[in-house]
C-alpha cells in the first residue's frame, strides 16, 4: 500500500510537470519527491569509482548513457543525485505514509505526531502571522531560527515559523550531545542510527510540511504553495538540505552555509584553512564519507555539492556568503553555485538561482547591502511578484575576476 501510494504520487507529479515550453516549468510541487518511483542507480564501492578532477556533470546520467536534454527527464536525473547523496554522504531520508502523520493546531502552534513502528515523535512550532495581508499567507521557516533581519518580513504579509531540529535529533555542536541512541529519530528508525544529522533534519522539516498540507489553509492560514526555508551557518547547511530534499519548498535561502553546504568538496580540498571533507563535523554526515573519500579520494565522489544545490531546480535558490570568514570556503561555494546554475540555464529558468557573496559584516549578520537580493527573491518566489527581475543576482566582487570557475567545468 505504501509503495503504491508513492508511485501514484510520483507519477501524478511527473504528469503535472511535463513542460514542453519554458513558461510551463513549475515553480514548486505538491509532493515531497517527484522521483520516488525511480529505481536507484548502481552505487559502486569507492575503488570502482573513477577519479574526476573537475566537478561532475549534474546533467549526465549515472550509468554514463548520455545527458539530460529536456525538462521532462530532469525528475529522473534529480532522483539519481538524491539517492547518491543519501548513499554516500548523509544516510537515508525515510519515506513516510500519510497515515503515519497526525497534525493539529493548538492556538497558533502547529503540532505534528509521526508514528513509526509503534513509536511517536512529536514536532511543534509556533506560527507567527503577519499583521497585514490576507490569509492564506506564504510561510518562511527558519532552521533553528531565522537569522535574516526580521524587518525584511515585518514589511510583508509573510508568516514565520521556526523548525526546532532538536525535536528530531538532539545534537548540538555546542553541547556535545553525541549519544545517538537517545535521539527521537532513532527511536523510530533504529536501523538508521548511523545516519548523518542532515538527512534526519530534512526528514523532520518534511513532516512539518506534511502537517500543514494535512490540515489545509482553512485551519493553518498557510499557503503551502509558497513555503520558504532559510538558516545560517550549520543551519544554512540544514536549510540547503531541507530545500533540496523536499520539492514542496518553493524558495531556499542558504545563508553562509560553509563547507558541507553549497561549497564543493573537491574545490574546498584544494584550499587551506577551510571546512572540507576531512575537517567537518561527522555527526552531520555518514562517518563512511570520510573513511571512503578522505584526502585525494574526494575526486572519486560520483557527485559534488553543486549537484546538491541543483536538486532545488526548478525551484528558487539564493545562496548568501561572507568572505570575511575563511572557514566558510566561499570561493568553493562560488564555483559550486555557478556550476549548479548550468542546470537552471538548461531549462531556461536561470532567474530562479542567485548568489550574493559580500564582505564587511559579522557572521550571520546580513548587511543592508544584501537586503535587495534577499527581498527580490522573497517578493518574486514567496509573494508571487512577477515584476521583480532576479536574472542578474550573481554578486561576488572579490571572486568574479580571481576565481576560475571554468577550470572546474568541462561539460558545458
For residue 314, cis peptide bond before it (omega within 30 degrees of 0)? yes
Among the listed residues 233, 268, 332, 356, the single catalytic one is 233
Instruction: Report d(CA 368, CA 70) in Å as an integer.
Output: 39
CB 34 within 8 A of CB 75: yes
Residue owning grid cell 501510494: 5
Spatial CB neighbours of 299, under 8 Å, sequence gap ≥ 6: 51, 52, 53, 266
Instruction: Report d(CA 83, CA 285) in Å as an integer.
Output: 15
Q: Is 363 in the active site?
A: yes
Spatial CB neighbours of 121, under 8 Å, sequence gap ≥ 6: 113, 114, 115, 167, 168, 184, 185, 187, 188
Among the listed residues 87, 145, 361, 363, the single catalytic one is 363
Q: Is 233 in the active site?
A: yes
- Reading the block at residue 197, the C-alpha cell is 544529522
- Other Cβ atoms less than 10 A from the Cβ of 364: the count is 18
CB 101 within 8 A of CB 207: yes
Active site members:
233, 363
Amino acid at each position: 500500500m505504501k509503495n503504491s501510494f508513492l508511485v501514484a504520487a510520483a507519477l501524478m507529479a511527473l504528469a503535472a510537470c511535463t513542460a514542453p515550453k519554458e513558461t510551463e516549468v513549475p515553480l514548486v510541487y505538491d509532493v515531497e519527491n517527484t522521483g520516488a518511483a525511480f529505481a536507484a542507480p548502481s552505487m559502486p564501492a569507492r575503488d570502482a569509482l573513477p577519479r574526476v578532477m573537475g566537478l561532475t556533470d549534474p546533467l549526465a546520467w549515472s550509468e554514463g548513457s548520455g545527458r539530460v536534454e529536456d525538462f521532462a527527464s530532469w525528475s529522473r536525473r534529480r532522483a539519481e543525485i538524491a539517492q547518491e547523496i543519501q548513499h554516500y554522504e548523509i544516510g537515508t531520508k525515510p519515506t513516510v505514509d500519510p497515515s503515519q502523520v497526525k497534525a493539529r493546531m493548538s492556538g497558533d502552534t502547529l503540532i505534528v505526531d509521526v508514528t513509526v513502528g509503534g513509536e511517536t515523535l512529536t514536532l511543534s512550532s509556533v506560527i507567527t502571522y503577519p499583521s497585514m495581508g490576507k490569509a492564506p499567507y506564504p510561510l518562511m521557516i527558519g532552521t533553528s531560527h531565522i537569522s535574516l533581519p526580521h524587518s525584511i518580513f515585518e514589511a510583508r504579509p509573510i508568516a514565520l515559523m521556526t523548525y526546532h531540529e532538536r525535536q528530531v535529533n538532539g545534537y548540538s555542536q555546542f553541547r556535545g550531545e553525541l549519544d545517538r541512541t537517545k535521539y527521537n529519530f532513532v527511536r523510530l528508525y533504529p536501523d538508521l542510527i548511523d545516519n548523518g544529522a542532515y538527512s534526519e533534519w530534512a526528514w523532520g522539516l518534511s513532516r512539518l510540511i506534511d502537517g500543514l498540507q494535512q490540515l489545509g489553509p482553512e485551519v493553518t492560514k498557510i499557503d503551502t504553495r509558497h513555503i520558504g526555508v532559510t538558516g545560517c551557518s550549520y543551519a544554512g547547511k540544514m536549510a540547503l538540505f531541507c530545500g533540496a530534499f523536499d520539492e514542496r519548498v518553493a524558495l531556499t535561502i542558504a545563508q553562509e552555509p560553509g563547507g558541507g553546504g553549497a561549497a564543493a568538496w573537491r574545490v574546498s580540498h584544494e584550499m587551506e584553512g577551510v571546512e572540507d571533507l576531512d575537517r567537518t563535523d561527522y555527526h552531520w554526515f555518514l562517518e563512511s564519507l570520510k573513511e571512503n573519500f578522505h584526502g585525494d579520494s574526494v575526486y572519486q565522489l560520483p557527485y559534488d555539492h553543486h549537484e546538491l544545490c541543483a536538486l532545488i531546480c526548478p525551484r528558487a535558490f539564493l545562496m548568501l556568503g561572507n568572505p570575511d570568514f575563511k572557514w566558510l570556503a566561499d570561493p568553493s561555494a562560488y564555483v559550486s553555485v555557478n556550476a549548479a546554475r548550468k542546470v537552471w540555464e538548461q531549462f531556461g529558468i536561470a532567474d530562479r538561482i542567485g548568489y550574493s557573496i559580500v564582505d564587511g559584516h559579522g557572521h550571520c549578520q546580513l548587511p543592508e547591502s544584501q537586503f535587495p537580493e534577499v527581498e527580490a527573491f522573497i517578493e518574486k518566489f514567496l509573494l508571487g511578484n512577477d515584476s521583480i527581475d532576479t536574472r542578474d543576482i550573481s554578486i561576488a566582487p572579490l571572486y568574479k575576476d580571481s576565481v576560475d570557475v571554468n577550470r572546474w567545468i568541462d561539460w558545458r
